[in-house]
């Protein structure tokens, strides 16, 4: 037998041995599509904001109070050289937060000329929901929040309403922070 034949036979033995010991390829599974957002808690209720509406998440920075504004407009902060308004979302919705301000977080909207941080009780990070679990008409929610919600997802028995920060920013009441009267 020639050296080339012996090498070929050896390679064939390796091939058959590897094929016999190789694990099966996983069977084709249906892919589940997910929708992702930033989860947060407001007044003890879980919400999720669309990922493309939150530019960043910050601790509440030191800010300067502005006289003559509504109480939920906390002030103006310098964030990396940019002036950002700091708004209390619970205050805007006529709710109260029991958390100390230093424990709260800001969801930042950076859209066009609007650079605003919305103080929420807690940020729960990225949340992923199967797309087919979306409910366009979720059960009745708090009337103060309903104008800003766009459906909901149910996961592990908990309802997560989709809270649109852009819808909130389009509300003229949100942009009118001057105290009148």
**Residue range 107-147, pLDDT digits in tens:** 999 998 999 999 999 999 999 999 988 998 877 778 889 99
Please compute the mean of the pLDDT values over residues 61-74 and round it to a whole number. Answer: 94
What is the three-class DSSP state of 61? coil
Confidence bin at 31 (pLDDT 50/70/90) = confident
Residue 5: pLDDT above 90?
Answer: no
- Distance of alpha carbon 41 from alpha carbon 98, whole angstroms: 12
Residue 160: pLDDT above 90?
Answer: yes
- H-assigned helices in 39-160: 89-92
Nearest Cα to 85, choosing from 61, 49, 51, 54? 61
Q: In the chain, at which residue ranges do the beta strands (DSSP E only) sit?
A: 34-42, 45-50, 56-59, 73-79, 82-88, 105-111, 114-120, 122-130, 134-135, 149-155, 158-163
Q: What is the pLDDT of residue 32?
A: 82
Least confident of 20-24, 33-37, 94-98: 20-24
Please compute the mean of the pLDDT values over residues 68-91 and round it to a whole number. Answer: 94
């Amino acid at each position: 037998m020639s050296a080339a034949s012996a090498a070929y036979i050896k390679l064939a033995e390796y091939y058959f041995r590897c094929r016999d010991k190789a694990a099966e390829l996983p069977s084709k599974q249906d892919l589940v599509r997910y929708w992702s957002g930033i989860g947060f808690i407001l007044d003890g209720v879980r919400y999720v904001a669309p990922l493309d509406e939150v530019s960043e998440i910050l601790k509440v920075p030191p800010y300067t109070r502005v006289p003559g504004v509504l109480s939920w407009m906390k002030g103006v902060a310098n964030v990396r050289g940019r002036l950002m308004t700091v708004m209390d979302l619970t205050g805007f919705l006529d709710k109260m937060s029991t958390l100390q301000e230093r424990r709260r977080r800001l969801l930042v909207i950076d859209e066009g000329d609007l650079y605003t941080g919305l103080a929420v009780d807690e940020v729960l990070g990225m949340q992923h929901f199967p797309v087919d679990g979306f409910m366009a008409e979720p059960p009745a929610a708090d009337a103060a929040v309903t104008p800003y919600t766009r459906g909901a997802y149910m996961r592990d028995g908990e309802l997560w309403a989709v809270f649109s920060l852009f819808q909130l920013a389009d509300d003229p009441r949100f942009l009118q922070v001057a105290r009148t009267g």
